[in-house]
Amino acid sequence: MSGGAGVDGGERGGASSVEMALLWSVLLACLLAVVQVALLSYAGQVAFGAAQDGLRTGRAYGTADIAAVARRDAEDFLARAGGTLLTDTTVAVTVDPGTGLLRVRVSGTALSVVPGVSLGVDREAVGGLERITP
């Protein structure tokens, strides 16, 4: 009888340690991907909330400087709710007097769990201006 332990498969020589290291790496990558998608989704919701807030104020505000009021309100919302989640934000407001539409676009960069990766967020809210007609 031959008694070689390595010959008949009794010992694997550390293969299970390598398998576990690979498995944990894949699981960690999946977890980070889920967290990144959640952060990107939440940053999009914050940007859309700011655009809607600016639109709501701009639609109801009855002065000639509707764009400035809508921009200020959207920027105030971002300052309150954005924090470090949404950075490098810009708010663009356009008023089309011909169609009576007000557009508030909020864009920025979402927080990333991977260093050096920049994920852009761009949301827009559009609505008609309220007008008093005789």
- Any domain includes 36: yes
- Any domain includes 7: no
For the chain, give the mean pLDDT. Answer: 85
- Any domain includes 10: no
Rounded CA separation 81/48 (Å): 11
Residue 59, judged by CB atoms within 10 A of its CB (0-12, 13-18, 19+), counts as: buried
- Any domain includes 3: no
Q: Range of 108's domain?
A: 15-128
Rounded CA separation 42/123 (Å): 12
64 or 111: whose pLDDT is higher?
111
Residue 74, domain CATH:
3.10.450
4 or 109: whose pLDDT is higher?
109
- Counting the structural domains of the chain, the total is 1
49-53, 79-83, 88-92: which has the minimum mean pLDDT?
Answer: 79-83
Rounded mean pLDDT of 9-26?
77
